[in-house]
Amino acid sequence: MSLLILFETAKLGDERMNSMSRGESSWGKFGAMLALIIAVTPLWWLHTGAREFLVSGVPELCWPGFENCGAWRFASQSRVDLVFIALGVGGLCSALALWFKPQHRMASASLALMFAVKLLLSALDYRLRGNHHQMANLVTLIFLLVPRPAATFALLIPSFYFAAGLLKLNAEWLSGAALADRLPLRGWLLELSLIGIVLMELIGIWWLLDRQRSPWRFWSILGILFVFHLVSIESVGFFYPIVMAALLSCFLWTKLDWPIFWASSSHAQPVLKRFSLLNLAKSWRASGGEVKLAWIVSGVFVGVQFLPALISARNDLSGEGRLIASSMVHNRTECRGFMRAQWGVHEAQIPMPVMQLPIRIWCDPLVFYNHARQMCREQNPDRLDWYLLSRNTSEAEYQLIVQARDFCRDPRRYPWLGKLPWGGQ
C-alpha cells in the first residue's frame, strides 16, 4: 500500500512538473525548500530534547487516540540518532533532486517518503507538535497532491499570517503579557511594536500578492517579514524562521496577483466594495478550478481557527479545539496541577511533574492527562482524582479547568474536538 501511494504521488508530481510552462518550472525549487524543512527538522528535534524522550522508559506524552505511544519507542538514543540522520540526509537528497531534476518522477516520490517518515515520528509524542510543523505539513501535502498548487499557495501562505493576527487580537498579546521577558522592548514601545505586528499580519501580508501591480509593496512586506523572523529567533528559536523563509520563497517564483482572485470588473474597485457579497459571487463564478480550490483551502484554514471559540469561551486555558487549530504564542499561561491518590486507607496529594515544555503546550490539559494515565498504570491506586487550575498571566485568579474524579476507573478518551469530559469551568 505504501509503495502504491508513493507511486501515485510520483505520478502527480510528474504531471505537475510537466504541466507547467517554462516560466513556472522553478516550482521544483519550492519543492526543494519543502524538502529542506524536513532535512532541518531532526536538528530542531535534537535541539528540543527529542533524542531523550523518544527512548523507552522515558515518560511519554501521547496524542489522543494513540495512548499506547509509549510502546512505540526506540531501544536506545543511538537508534534515535540513526533515524534522525536518515531523515536529515533523505530530506537533503530530496531537496537536491527537486532543485536539479524536478521533472524526474523519483524527485516527488522522495519528498513523499521523507514526509511520511516525518509524520510517523511526529505521531510518537505530543512534544513533537508545533505550529511550524502544521503549516509546513499542510503546504507539503498540497504540493504532493495538487497538480497545479500555485494559486492555493498564493492565498494560503498569507492566510497563515492572517490567522495568527486574528488570534493576537486579545489583551494578553496587545499588552505584552504573552511575551513577558522574551523581548528587549518594554512599555509603550513594546505595545506599539505588538500592534504593528498585528497590522502586518492582518493587512500588510496581502501585499505579497501585489508584486505585479506594486513591486515596492511586495518587496517592502517581504523585507519586513525578513526582519520580523530574524528578530524572532531569540524568542522562538531557529526552526520557525527557517520554515517561514522556505514557505515565503514561494512568492519569489509565483506570478499571481490579486486580479486572478477577482472578477475582471471588480479588482480595481475600492477594497470594501471589492469584498461585497455581489463581487465575491461574481469572482467565484468567473474563477477556474485552481482559484476555487485556493479560496476553499484558505477559507477552511482560517475558519478552523474559530472552532475553539465556539467550543469554549476559555479555550485559551482549556485548549479545547486547539488540537486541529493553530497553536501560537498569543497568550501566556500559568497552571497548577495535582493528583489525590488513595491506596486503601492511605491517601496522598501529589503535585503533577514539572516538565520543560514549549510555551504553547506547557499548561495544555493533555499534558496532565498523560501524567494521570501514567500514575494509573505504574502506581495502580484504588482511586485517583486529578485537578488542573490555570490562568493567563494578566489575570489575578486561577480557573478550575479540570476536575477528574476516580480517573483510573473511568479515564475516558481525550477529545480531539468538543469539550473536555471532566468539567471544571
Q: How far is the C-alpha of 159 from the C-alpha of 195, rounded, in Å?
A: 18
The dihedral sign for the CA sequence 124, 6, 298, 207 = positive
What order do you get walking across the sheet with 333-343 strand by strand? 346-351, 333-343, 383-392, 399-404
Residue 200: half-sphere exposure toward Cβ, Cα within 13 Å:
17
**DSSP structure string for 193-253:** HHHHHHHHHHTGGGGGG-TTT-HHHHHHHHHHHHHHHHHHHHHH-SHHHHHHHHHHTHHHH
Cα–Cα distances (Å) from 348 to 340, 344, 345, 368, 374, in that order, read 6, 11, 10, 17, 16
Whether the CB-CB separation of 53 and 80 falls below 8 Å is answered with no
Coil, helix or strand at residue 389? strand
Return the pLDDT at 21.
37
**What confidence score (pLDDT) does residue 178 get?**
62
pLDDT (tens, 9 = 90+) of the chain, 425 residues, equals 444 444 455 455 555 544 443 334 578 889 999 999 999 999 999 998 888 889 988 888 999 989 889 889 998 999 999 999 999 999 999 999 999 888 777 888 999 999 999 999 999 999 998 888 999 999 999 999 988 888 899 899 999 999 989 888 877 777 766 665 666 666 667 778 888 889 999 999 999 988 877 889 899 999 999 999 998 888 788 999 999 999 999 888 766 666 666 555 445 555 555 555 666 666 666 667 788 888 899 999 999 988 888 888 888 888 888 888 877 665 678 889 999 999 988 999 999 877 777 777 888 999 999 999 999 999 999 999 999 999 887 788 999 999 999 999 888 889 988 889 987 55
User: What tens digit of pLDDT does each residue of 391-406 get?
Assistant: 887 788 999 999 999 9
Q: How many CB atoms lie within 10 A of CB 192?
A: 11
Helix axes 131-145, 27-47, angle to 10 degrees: 150
Q: How many CA atoms lie within 13 A of 109 on its CB side?
A: 14
pLDDT at 328: 67
pLDDT score recorded for residue 266: 47
Q: How far apart are CA 119 and CA 421, in angstroms?
A: 28
Q: What residue segments make up the domains of the chain, in order of their start?
A: 1-146, 149-305, 316-404
Q: What is the pLDDT of residue 244?
A: 95
In degrees, to the nearest 5, what angle opens at C-alpha 117 toward C-alphas 113 and 118? 115
Q: Are 390 and 366 in contact (CB under 8 A)?
A: no
Cβ-count burial 18-49 (b if 16+ within 10 Å, e if not)? eebeeebebbbbbbbbbbbbbbbbbebbeebe
Q: Say whether 130 sits in a helix, a strand or coil.
A: coil
pLDDT given for residue 1 in this prediction: 45
Residue partners of 373: CB distance under 8 A and separation at least 6: 62, 67, 411
Which pTM value belongs to this model? 0.87
**In contact, 318 and 312? CB cutoff 8 Å:** yes
Ramachandran angles phi, psi of 403, nearest 5°: -135, 90
Handedness of CA 225, 230, 234, 239 (dihedral sign): positive
pLDDT for the residue 390 = 92
C-alpha cell at 220: 517592502
